[in-house]
Amino acid sequence: MKSVLKIQSIRGDDEFQWDPGVEDEQLRRAKQEFAQARDRQFFAYSRSESGDTEVIEDFDPNAREILMAIPLLGG
Amino acid sequence: MYCSYEAQDRARALLLTYLSPGQRETFQVRGHFDIVKTGCRRSLEMLFLGYPRFRIYRLSRSRFPVTIFTSARQLARSLPKYGYCIHSHGSAPQDDELLSMKLLIDHDESRFVYIACRFRSPVARARLLAEQQEYWDIAGRA
């Protein structure tokens, strides 16, 4: 089953899929997009099959779903 | 820059997948959902700011997307004590913002409190003024 990275954007969200355990271009692209979103202060969450979410700091290639949530400002 | 309808639909679908069944039902019927943080750990900053044990955040698509109830009485009367001013950096569908806020409150409430600007709920204030006005109207007639 494919894993997916979802990054919130003006288009709703952008999806990047990869095969866990397969070191290929899709995985490299997902890692790169994750790193870029982190640089833009996005919050990173991993979501399991049961629907539970947890905060992650680094890209997890074995995660089922990773969500990059938009950064928030007060005021 | 405005989001397309398609983007809003995608954001809505994504938000719904991240809500619990109860939250999803309430959101679809009433347009809001609650996050119960009663009894959860409070940071030192939250203690200084007077956050009580009872805390229920209400998220909606209204002008003030996040409000907090700090007692069961407020919740029963739908009169939140505080509202929060918080938004995203750029143009994103409102449901994406709601999801980001929900996850932040779920996982790092103290950071949410740090980021968001808290203010006295305008809903509660408006109702209080209306009640006072009503009281004075009745008193004036007597």
A5, A43, A55, A70: best mutation site toward chain B, by most B Cβ within 10 Å? Answer: A70
Note the ipTM here. 0.93
Whole-prediction pTM:
0.88
Query: Shortest CA distance to A71 belongs to which of A30, A43, A38?
Result: A43
What the block records as the tokens of A44 is 């990173």
pLDDT digits (tens, 9 = 90+) for B43-57: 999 999 999 999 999
Q: Does B59 touch chain A (CB under 8 A)?
A: no
Contact B86 A72 (CB under 8 A): yes
Domain boundaries, chain B: 5-141
Q: Which residue of A has its CA nearest to B116?
A: A74
Q: Pseudo-torsion of CA A58, A59, A61, A64, nearest 10°? A: 100
Residue A52 belongs to domain spanning: 3-69
Question: Which pLDDT belongs to residue B141?
Answer: 75
Q: Is residue A74 in some structural domain?
A: no
Q: Is residue A41 in some structural domain?
A: yes
Q: Say if residue A23 is exposed, middle or buried (CB neighbours under 10 Å; 0-12, 13-18, 19+).
A: exposed
* Count of structural domains within chain A: 1
Q: Is residue A9 in some structural domain?
A: yes
